[in-house]
Amino acid sequence: MRLDRFLANLPHLSRQDARLHLAAGRVRVDGASVRDGQHEVRVFNRVELDGELLQAGKPARYFMLHKPAGCVSATRDAEHRTVLDLLDEPDKDDLHIGGRLDFNSTGLLLITNDGQWSRRMTLPGRKLAKVYYVETEQPIEAHYAQVFAEGLYFRYEDLTTLPAHLEILAPRAARLTLHEGRYHQVKRMFGHFQNKVTRLHRERMGSLSLDPQLAPGQYRALSAAEIADLE
Ligand code: URA
């Protein structure tokens, strides 16, 4: 919300008061005086007026989890354990997942309470690279690479997938780089060749690789640099 609206919404301040306080430099956001009413204020910011605390600001939290197979990328599930069950953190209701993985897929999953950050990351225009290690039932043939690079038509969504890069690593193993995240996209792309995916592991999202120190089920907080790199 804009800072001028945030101030004017307070029961003891009018819009005029808000304007005057801002112009006088009496409002501080995260310790710095802000005069611009259009400055965006979020639940994570500390806001003060003449030293009076208006909003304490809650900590923004960002985690990378090594998702194990056999758990759901959802915040609640009646039947199975969810990725949030793996986190030993307070206020888990505030957390959500940026870029889901299927029940049996493994690898890098981002979890945060910062909706703006995760939305930005998954915006279609963003084209963030997502890198998957894939194993299949049948041999992966060389011509898949061309088909994936040209894009595949998905009838259900009536769209053609963005160019994807396939690197064949072994007869039944490959690394696939996508720049979008359609429903079951990797499985559907190999499914085009009636080749079933037997293992799917996300290694990287944008500049962020899964930390090799994390065993399946383990997680850690992202560093400030990692958070900024993904913005
Ligand atoms: N594509 C899939 O098919 N499954 C995943 O979990 C991720 C990408």
Q: Domain map of the chain by residue range?
A: 3-55, 62-225
The whole-angstrom separation of Cα 68 and Cα 10 is 45
Q: How far is the CA of 154 from the centre of ligand 1 (A)?
A: 15
Among 114, 109, 110, 96, smallest CA distance to 60 is for 114
pLDDT for 125: 82
pLDDT for 138: 98
Q: Which of 36, 102, 114, 158 is catalytic?
A: 102
List, as own/partner pairs, every contact residues 70-73 make where C-beta atoms lie below 8 angstroms and the sequence separation is at least 24, other chains included: 70/103, 70/104, 71/103, 72/103, 73/97, 73/100, 73/101, 73/102, 73/109
Pairing of strands 165-170, 173-178: antiparallel
To test the pocket of ligand 1, the residue of 100, 103, 105, 176 to mutate (highest count of ligand atoms within 8 Å of its CB) is: 105
pLDDT for 69: 98
pLDDT for 124: 75
pLDDT for 120: 83
Ordered per-residue pLDDT tens for the chain, 231 residues: 999 999 999 998 899 999 999 999 999 999 999 999 999 999 999 999 998 999 999 999 999 999 999 999 998 899 999 999 999 999 898 999 988 999 999 999 999 999 988 888 878 788 899 999 999 999 999 999 999 999 999 999 999 999 999 999 999 999 999 999 999 999 999 999 999 999 999 999 999 999 999 999 999 999 999 998 887
The CATH code that applies to domain 3-55 is 3.10.290.10
- Known catalytic residue: 102? yes
Q: What is the reported pTM?
A: 0.89
CB neighbour list of residue 161: distance below 8 Å, 6 or more residues apart: 148, 151, 152, 154, 178, 180, 182, 185, 189
Q: Class assignment of domain 62-225?
A: alpha beta
Among 200, 193, 149, 192, smallest CA distance to 174 is for 200
